């Protein structure tokens, strides 16, 4: 295994993972674990920033996310999976890094600004939410990650991480921290089944890796398509049509997909035919994942044992990072 780059990825445990997560991150992780030293973080602390009044939900979903990881093929012998809150060094680093960032800089972060607006926080935004870019910098640097797969909307977070790294190394005359490179997946995000730009549990427009075959059928047959494609004979639009976006993401027979697109655009192809094609493709993709997930769910203690072992391995790496950081900051008293 190449040690040229260390990779860090992660998910917030606010619910089971959906097919949008697979396209945006999980598929990347399956490839990256074959080549690099990969860490996958279950970001329960981050999840609390907008679930502070429902910690039980976050706790329970840690297990659900771990089941999804293992079911899709994330291999604990190749990928180290850990729980964010169980690595106290992350919290320590966050405190140190906060001295290197101004409040105004955090407010100007485009990702933070967008999410504050989306959630309607306004002046009521919490300090924990506002400082998330600093916490993420700690997540990344605690394992000395050099490559982080993110969507385009997260690029400002990586930029801020590198600002913190450069400031720390300059101020403390060290090379204890390394800058990070963003890896943007080819398909960064799938729209929801209702045609909205974001697939999420709260909007009820997601297809989950754990959904039963019947549920998947219901969701796909009810998907948004082209609202002006009223009859099969009408020409339809492919752009902005979730059914075709999902086919692009999951159907390996690109020739057939292209033929369907052309037929749809010139007219004579009904939405039901295209949805049935997608249904066949997605059921074939999801069935082995569902089966594997169900098997794993019968032995939760073994699943959590794997997560505990990954967390313990990460603690060793985090402690080494913290030793270097404290030495640079002259905080190594004993």
Confidence class for position 196, pLDDT limits 50, 70, 90: confident
- Is the predicted pLDDT of residue 209 greater than 60, yes or no? yes
Q: What is the pLDDT of residue 122?
A: 82
Q: What is the pLDDT of residue 188?
A: 61
- Is the predicted pLDDT of residue 4 greater than 70, yes or no? no
Nearest to 46 by CA among 58, 56, 57: 58
Of residues 256 and 183, more confidently modeled = 256
**Dihedral sign computed on CA atoms, order 110, 115, 118, 121:** negative
β-pair partners for 107? none
- Is the predicted pLDDT of residue 272 greater than 50, yes or no? yes
Q: How many CB atoms lie within 10 A of CB 281?
A: 20
Residue 210: half-sphere exposure toward Cβ, Cα within 13 Å: 18
Q: Each residue of 17-49: pLDDT tens digit?
A: 999 888 877 888 999 999 999 999 999 998 888
- Is the predicted pLDDT of residue 2 greater than 60, yes or no? no
Q: Each residue of 113-153: pLDDT tens digit?
A: 888 887 788 888 888 888 989 999 999 999 999 999 887 88
Of residues 123 and 206, more confidently modeled = 206
Token pair in block for residue 279: 């249904």
Going along the chain from its start, the domains and CATH numbers come out as 6-190+300-328 (3.40.50.620), 213-295 (1.10.240.10)
- Is the predicted pLDDT of residue 90 greater than 50, yes or no? yes
Burial code of 312-326, b = ≥16 C-beta within 10 A, e = fewer? eebbebbeebbeebe
Report the pLDDT averaged over residues 7-16.
Answer: 84
Q: Are 234 and 43 in contact (CB under 8 A)?
A: no
Q: Per this entry, what is the length of the chain?
A: 334
- Is the predicted pLDDT of residue 1 greater than 60, yes or no? no
- Is the predicted pLDDT of residue 85 greater than 70, yes or no? yes
Q: Are 267 and 229 in contact (CB under 8 A)?
A: no
Torsion of CA 4, 75, 140, 17, to 10 degrees: 140
Report the pLDDT averaged over residues 98-126.
Answer: 87
Nearest to 310 by CA among 23, 37, 39: 39
Q: What is the pLDDT of residue 279?
A: 97
Of residues 26 and 211, more confidently modeled = 211
Token pair in block for residue 175: 């090379």
Q: What is the pLDDT of residue 305?
A: 97
- Axis-axis angle for helices 271-297, 242-250 (nearest 10): 50
Report the pLDDT averaged over residues 103-112.
Answer: 89
Q: Each residue of 60-81: pLDDT tens digit?
A: 999 999 999 999 999 999 999 9
Q: What is the pLDDT of residue 265?
A: 96
Q: How many CB atoms lie within 10 A of CB 15?
A: 19
Share of the chain above pLDDT 70, in %: 98
220 CB contacts (<8 Å, ≥6 apart)?
A: 193, 207, 243, 275, 278, 279, 282
In degrees, rounded to 5, the angle at the alpha carbon of residue 38 between the alpha carbons of residues 35 and 44 is 155
In whole numbers, what is the pLDDT of the chain averaged over residues? 91
């Amino acid at each position: 295994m190449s040690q040229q780059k260390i990779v860090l990825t992660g998910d917030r445990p606010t619910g089971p993972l959906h097919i949008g997560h697979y396209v945006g991150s999980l598929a990347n992780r399956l490839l990256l674990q074959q080549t690099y030293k990969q860490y996958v973080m279950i970001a329960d602390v981050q999840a609390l920033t907008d679930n502070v009044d429902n910690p039980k939900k976050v706790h329970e979903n840690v297990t659900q996310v771990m089941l999804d990881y293992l079911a899709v093929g994330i291999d604990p012998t190749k990928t180290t999976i850990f729980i964010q809150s169980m690595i106290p060094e992350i919290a320590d680093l966050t405190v140190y890094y906060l001295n290197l960032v101004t409040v105004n800089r955090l407010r100007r972060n485009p990702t933070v600004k967008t999410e504050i607006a989306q959630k309607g926080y306004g002046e009521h935004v919490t300090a924990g939410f506002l400082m998330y870019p600093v916490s993420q910098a700690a997540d990344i640097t605690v394992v000395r990650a050099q490559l982080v797969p993110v969507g385009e909307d997260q690029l400002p977070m990586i930029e801020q991480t590198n600002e913190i790294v450069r400031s720390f190394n300059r101020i403390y005359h060290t090379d204890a921290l390394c800058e990070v490179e963003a890896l943007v997946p080819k398909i960064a995000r799938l729209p929801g089944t209702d045609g909205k730009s974001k697939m999420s549990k709260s909007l009820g427009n997601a297809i989950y890796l754990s959904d039963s075959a019947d549920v998947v059928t219901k969701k796909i047959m009810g998907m948004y398509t082209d609202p002006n494609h009223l009859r099969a004979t009408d020409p339809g639009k492919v752009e902005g049509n979730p059914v075709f976006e999902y086919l692009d993401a999951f159907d390996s027979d690109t020739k057939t997909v292209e033929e369907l697109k052309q037929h749809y655009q010139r007219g004579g192809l009904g939405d039901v035919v295209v949805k049935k094609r997608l249904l066949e493709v997605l059921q074939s993709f999801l069935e082995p994942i569902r089966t594997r997930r169900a098997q794993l769910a019968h032995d939760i203690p073994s699943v959590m044992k794997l997560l505990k072992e990954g967390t313990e391995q990460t603690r060793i790496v985090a402690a080494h990072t913290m030793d270097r950081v404290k030495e640079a900051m002259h905080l190594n008293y004993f």
